[in-house]
A and B are shown apart, each in its own frame.
Chain A
Amino acid sequence: MKVERNLQICTAAVAVIGSMLLGIGERAPELPLMMLMAALTSVIFTDILGWLRLPKIIANIFMIFIAVIAFSDFFNSTSQLQLYAVANLLVYVQIVILFQQKTARLYGHLAVFSLLQVVVASLLNVGVIFGALLFVYLIFAFLALSLFNVYRQISVMEKANHQSILLSAQSATTNTQSSEWAFLMRDRPRGRTGIALRSVGDQTIATGFFRYIIGIGMIVMVFTMVFFYCIPRTGNSAWHHPGLSSAGRTGMTREITLGQVGQILDDDRLALRVSFTDEKINEPYEVAGDPYLSGTVLTRYVPKRGSSNWLPTGLAVGSTALTLESVRNIPLGHDLVRQDITVEVVHNPKSVFGDPLLPAVYPIYAARNTPEQVRYDPFSRQLFLNVGPGKTIVDQYRYSVVTTAFSKQNQQTVTPVYAFDRRSEDTLRRKIRAALELPAEVQSLTEFTRDLLTQRRVDTSSSILIARDLENYLTSQELFTYSLSQFGIERDLTIDPVLDFVMNHRTGHCEYFASALALMLRSQGIPARIVIGYHGGEYNKIGEHFKFRNSDAHAWVEMFIPPETLPALDVVIESTGLAGAWVLLDPTPSRDDQLERTLYDEVVDSFEYAQLLWDNYVLTMDPQQQEEALRKLGINNVGAKDLGVSTRLLKSIGIDFDQGLLRSLAKPQSLLIFLLVISLLLGAGRWIKLIRWGGLLRLTRPRNTRLRTQQASVMFYRRMEKFFTRRGQPRYASQTQREYASELTQWLCESEQESDIVKIPNQVVDLFYAVRFGDSDVTHEQLLVVENCLSSLSHRVRKNPKRMT
């Protein structure tokens, strides 16, 4: 029975794809591999050959064994590992079931386990590949479900018919004692199908069945999209995807610790993506070079014994948190560029600065769609996500801000500072004062720097020149070595790590270089501070965005220059209210790793872009993005900004999720509206029927459709009729098939066709008459002959199109 064989194969495929989904989520390739092997083996040896079929008792023992192991894992694990334990249990149980002789019950079990497996997988997965694989899974699951339905129905029908025959036979034996004429007393008729039910099943899947199911899959995908975008959301997602966990991440931190022996891990995991858009014309803004995205500013240098720290200013985040202001004035020649950033949120609940940092290119201003949760601390210059107490933590966060840092596609290194009131002047004064602090432990750096500058013959009257020279000095690869590792370096633990770096080993990473420059500038009376953020990244041409990995985390220096020094930088800045500027300096030697782009890079970029879309429009979909997506579809002015449109719609009819779903649904008006909507939906079909679609369809109906409906339904004959109808020789309603064949023969003769072609219509019609009116079955040989005739007909047409038409 083909149905059962197909069902076995589809069930095995569903199990394998389900395990792949799980394996991707768990990052455990052995799981899908194991299932693939088991599925292949079970299909061949259990289902097809029947050599290996686990007895029920053995299978049950296996399952108990698996359950015991899974539960022991479950109770001794963290919550995430508990999820893995459940998922693994499902996989192992499926493997055991696959090796049993399949019954309808076992197929049902496999379906349920597979579905649960996918539920678990959807909690573990974040990638776009999961979405693609889920679609494949959906198609196979539909195929399996549909085949299972056919298989089950046929089994049930066969059983019912068999039962009826048994009852019929029993009626004869119970009515009479056994005698040669006992059958005369059989009062229950015995039914017999004219066509075997198994054969019906096989025919069902032979007539475009797979196409039909794939079509259903497509429709379901469209439904899923609509469902996904319309489902009410409150933005209080309680689920934290393990796949997005910040555990084990390295990269941008909130503070710097120097002097520790170790190595910074090159973490290639995604940190953020940023796309730049010209806010005026709403077109992608092309950025030349690698942008600097600032995370936080560290001003306080705290030396300790053998180590030292760079810390933010003493103000706790939140106390001075403000909502971002809109841009007031754009510096001359600068562009207003919107940054759309999707950041992988790094949670650190133990930190006093618990709220996640949001990197951006500074200076920043509020964009039209900047979320309200995005807050700004002007003193520590931190943009952060105000999670707030009781709010759930998200894994990814998307936000938009605008910046004026770009001019002619280049990020400017000078950030002007304006002070329009006394308060902002005070704040700036405090920042500068903090940026000048030089602890006693590094005082020796003053003399060292002075000597260095003298030695290098630098004009010390210009802070710009000093800064540029020191920057060049540190970036010199002949003197300094860039290294992420601190192993194997002869360190002097008696002095400050920065002093040790500058004077002795001269080997370190960006934090050492930035610290050295900042402290050297401070030693010369120039305010300087450390900035931590991201620099570099990869530009995705297809997605037109930059992708930053954790390994792109970087530290650099900003020095403050007073307004009078600004002309030396040859930049045009609005002078009204100008209080100075912060100038970006990057003393870290650059790594020249520019490579030629290959096709592989293009593929990677495409995938990366797909992942971006997946992340932005699926994974991190929240009420705001939902609203944004609906606005793009033309649904505007939907109400308050902080709620999704669907939520607001529900609120307008009295269903408030904040009060709890059940409680709000229990309200009379909610119930009434709910029932009204349901009844409207159910009655939609009736309303649609009232519209005279027929009239509309008739306008678009092809000319020969009427003819088609009059055609007989023997397939090979229909094909021939269709073939000639397309060539302007339709059969008219008044013609019999025989007359039609005669007419075609005559026409073919007139078209100077070869004699074997001329005979074909009559041959086909002869067989058609035998099948259609003679009620006889067409044999395989006859069918082959007709098929050959029809194919030769179409072949000749291709050869002699002019003659035929």
Chain B
Amino acid sequence: MQVKPRILITTQGWYYLFVVLFIVGGAIMREVNMLVILSGMLFGPLLLHWRLTISSLENLSFRRKFNNPTMAGVETRMEILLENHHRRWGSWFVQVHDRIRKVNQDSTAAASEIQLAVPFVFGSSVAKIPFTWDIAQRGIYEMGPLYIESRFPFGLVRARRTLRERESIIVCPQLGRLTPQWRRVIESDHHGLSGSFSRQGRSEGDYYAMRKWRSGDSTRWIHWRTTARLGELMVRQYEQQRDRAVGIVLDLSELTAEIPNADLNQQNHHAVVIEIAVSMVATIVNDLCSRNGSHFSLTIAGTSASHFSATPSQNVTRAVLESLAVVNPGNGEALRDSFQWLSHEGQQGMTVVIVSTRSKQQAITQLDQINNSATNVTQQDWSLQDALWIDCQNHLEVDRYFQPFEATNTTSAEQTPQQHDGQGDALEQPALSHVEAEISLATEEASH
């Protein structure tokens, strides 16, 4: 709900008013005509300013435009749309203030603020104010209150209109880069796991989408026309049926489950480990979806266990990433449920990868304490012994398969806000990966 402009006299305005009242008082009391003129010249602007400031804001409606969900580590482009409903009367130098803060389980983090401005909003037109949020952490973020403000022309009076509704945006985990070692794990018959898949080729499947060129892609897949248009290499991607199944387990456990009296540094370090684990799983899912159509089973052992078993599709990918966006570490016991689910739902001969925030030994010990036999969880032709256990506490082990991105490597072009009428289309997100492109395609609607 956009409320009516609220008017306040600024500090500068109070000083001005004080001087004006002093002169007006002197002019009235002493009746010096020249002072009376000066008083009028000083008092007039204040009244006019008050009226102009109100009218410049009361004809404006404003809203935020953004894609939901978005990715962490990628500059999330947003726009504030200011629509002037007045036929002719424009609004000068309108300032926009927006806030964003992460919504945590227990409390909310400190908010970040951005202040923007638009030089002029013509009558009967819409002004777009582009800006970006660089969000590093996954999670749910709350935006608002959004308010517009005007102090034009003299800065003596301030009018403000606030959009009280707060909007949420889901920030999916930051994606990293999988190493060639990881590819070897998935694509070869590693650790005695069996599986076969046909070679990817142009004629082997239906056209699925366009994506950016990656190292290793055949030059035959390059779609030259799109490449010329976008100025970067783009390749065709084909939907393929693969017979290799992958089972992924994300094991997130709290530090207190392992070290009851952990200090702050340890807690922070563990938080990084959790983020790396989540980011790695998100990257794996993204990779699986982008490379081929292999069936995968994902089970997340956080505060509780949640599971996904499907052939990759846009909706599944989105659901997985949204789920990963909000997952929190648990006491570690959910891993047992995850194993059980994987044992029942996982496909025969699948490659099982366990991404964990603890070592294999720690996990087995805990599971043994619960169930007296960790090995009981292995069914359906996979065993814990054969699974690839990636302990994210071990940086070397993580580095072997996964490289996180730097968060500050993207820039947004500074450009003049274009003004247009009518409702805008969905924002073009700078797609870093297949999944981001999918998200953009899947959420072509602006959040109002």
Contact = CB atoms under 8 A, between A and B. Distances in A.
Interface string A160-200: 11001001100110011101111111111111111111011
Contacts of A749: none
Interface string B30-46: 11111111111111110
A672 interface: no
B120 interface: yes
Given A203-B120, A203-B416, A223-B48, A184 B114 contact: no
Contact of A191 (B45, B52, B113, B125): B113
B340 interface: no
Contacts of A236: 31
A224 B54 CA distance: 22
Interface stretch (A253-261, A475-483, A769-777): A769-777
Interface string A132-151: 00100010001001101110
A159 to B, nearest CB: 9
B36 to A, nearest CB: 6
B49 to A, nearest CB: 9
B335 to A, nearest CB: 23
Contacts of A204: 92-93, 119-120
Given A153-B151, A194-B130, A228 B37 contact: yes
B1 interface: no
A176 B420 contact: no
Interface stretch (A117-125, A299-307, A578-586): A117-125
Contacts of B417: 194-195
Interface stretch (A383-391, A464-472, A615-623): A615-623
Q: Which of B125, B134, B275 has the most CB of A within 10 A?
A: B134
A216 interface: yes
B153 A184 contact: no
B40 A189 contact: no
B93 A175 contact: no
A228 B271 contact: no
Interface in B81-127: 87, 92-93, 95, 98, 100-102, 109-120, 122, 124-126
Contacts, number: 283
The number of chain B residues touching the other chain, given as a range, is 35 or more
Interface residues of A, number: 99
Contacts of B115: 156-157, 160-161, 197
A194 B414 contact: yes
Given A181-B272, A200-B118, A219-B44, A193 B31 contact: no
Interface in A677-718: 685, 705, 708-710, 712-714
B155 interface: yes
A234 B31 contact: yes
Nearest to A207: B120
B40 A233 contact: no
A172 B271 CA distance: 12
| SS class, residues of chain B in contact with chain A | mixed
Contacts of A192: 75, 114, 131-134, 412
A762 B279 CA distance: 50
B19 A167 contact: no
B228 interface: no
Contact of A195 (B12, B43, B113, B414): B414
A225 B54 CA distance: 24
Interface string B399-422: 000001011100011111111110
A713 B125 contact: yes
A199 B40 CA distance: 35
Contact of B414 (A123, A167, A199): A199
A237 B117 contact: no
A227 interface: yes
A201 B110 CA distance: 30
B315 interface: no
A685 B7 CA distance: 14
Interface string B407-439: 110001111111111000000100000000000
Contact of B153 (A183, A216, A235): A216
Given A661-B28, A709-B87, A164 B114 contact: yes
A183 B404 CA distance: 10
A238 to B, nearest CB: 5
A235 B31 contact: yes
A189 B73 CA distance: 10
B268 interface: yes
Contact of A190 (B111, B133, B154, B406): B133
B133 A191 contact: yes
B63 interface: no
A563 interface: no
* A-B complex: 3 closest residue pairs judged by Cβ atoms: A194-B130, A191-B114, A149-B155
Interface of A: 108, 112, 115, 118-119, 122-123, 125-126, 130-131, 134, 138, 142, 145-146, 148-150, 152-154, 156-157, 160-161, 164, 167-168, 171-172, 175-177, 179-197, 199-201, 203-204, 206-207, 209, 212-213, 216, 219-221, 223-228, 231-239, 618-621, 661, 685, 705, 708-710, 712-714, 771-772, 775, 777
Interface of B: 12, 15, 19, 23, 27-45, 47-48, 51-52, 54, 75, 77, 79, 87, 92-93, 95, 98, 100-102, 109-120, 122, 124-126, 129-137, 141, 151-155, 174, 265, 268-269, 271-272, 275-276, 279, 404, 406-408, 412-421, 428
30 contacts: A108-B12, A123-B32, A131-B37, A146-B152, A150-B152, A157-B116, A176-B269, A181-B276, A183-B136, A183-B406, A184-B404, A187-B102, A188-B112, A191-B100, A191-B114, A193-B116, A194-B132, A194-B413, A194-B415, A196-B414, A201-B117, A220-B41, A223-B43, A223-B44, A224-B40, A226-B40, A619-B33, A685-B54, A771-B418, A772-B418
